[in-house]
Homo-oligomer: A and B are copies of this chain.
Amino acid sequence: MTHQDTKTKIIEAGAQIIHLKGFNNTGIQEILEASGVPKGSFYFYFKSKEDFGLQVIDHFVEGFMSVADEILNNDALPPLQRLKIFSEWFINFFKSQNCTCGCPIGNISQEMADINPKFREKLSGIVTQMANCYIKPLKEAQAAGEISSTLDVEETSRFIVSCWHGALMHMKVVKSLEPLETCHKFIFERVLKV
């Protein structure tokens, strides 16, 4: 196994634990145990727990961006349908996860924004990056007359991501898909509606 493979293994194992338990609540020791990497090797791969956390965030966002790119930029489908499929993809994903964990970017934003400026700055850029994924399909849906022409597309993109973050938080606590299904319904039947 190369150094890069080992590093990836630590990041993947750490990401899973942090997703469930939070960043501050996860110890380096348990990350190494979960990844099967010998004790003491953490600081060979990462400068600090903070450095590790920032790389875990990159790992989380890669997951979101690859699904977003595959669905939202699929020009074979009408733009509104792409937006709906993307939304349904997440509902199905969290169904498969039994309504646990929520959005790792949302969780770590909530936890770290006020206590670590490096995390906050990075996460602020990522929240914008997530919203930006919606701009192209929303513009195309507007051009096709599928959604309201009066919406500011950039503002709407940000609002959609923010709605989902709130809905995922509620899903975690009520342990039901209802908040996600309600969010989907309001976005398509009220927010975007012509």
**Chain A residues with a Cβ under 8 A of chain B:** 20-22, 24-25, 100-102, 106-107, 109-111, 113-115, 120, 123-124, 127-128, 155-156, 158-159, 161-167, 169-170, 172-175, 178-179, 182-183, 185-186, 190-191, 193
In the bound assembly, the distance between CA atoms of A3 and B154 in angstroms comes to 54
In the bound assembly, the distance between CA atoms of A193 and B102 in angstroms comes to 30
Give chain B residues whose Cβ lies under 8 Å from the Cβ of A163: 162-163, 166
Do A172 and B24 touch across chains, with their CB atoms under 8 A apart? no
Do B164 and A22 touch across chains, with their CB atoms under 8 A apart? no
Do B111 and A22 touch across chains, with their CB atoms under 8 A apart? yes
Give chain B residues whose Cβ lies under 8 Å from the Cβ of A20: 114-115
Chain B min CB distance to A64 (Å): 15
Residue of B nearest to A26 (CB): B24
Chain A contact residues, majority secondary structure: helix
Chain B min CB distance to A66 (Å): 22
Give chain B residues whose Cβ lies under 8 Å from the Cβ of A175: 113, 120, 124
Do B173 and A158 touch across chains, with their CB atoms under 8 A apart? no
Do A173 and B127 touch across chains, with their CB atoms under 8 A apart? yes
Chain B min CB distance to A115 (Å): 6
In the bound assembly, the distance between CA atoms of A106 and B174 in angstroms comes to 12
Give chain B residues whose Cβ lies under 8 Å from the Cβ of A162: 163, 166-167, 169-170, 179, 182-183
What 4 A-B pairs are tightest by C-beta distance, nearest first? A166-B166, A165-B166, A162-B166, A113-B172
Give chain B residues whose Cβ lies under 8 Å from the Cβ of A173: 109, 113, 120, 123-124, 127
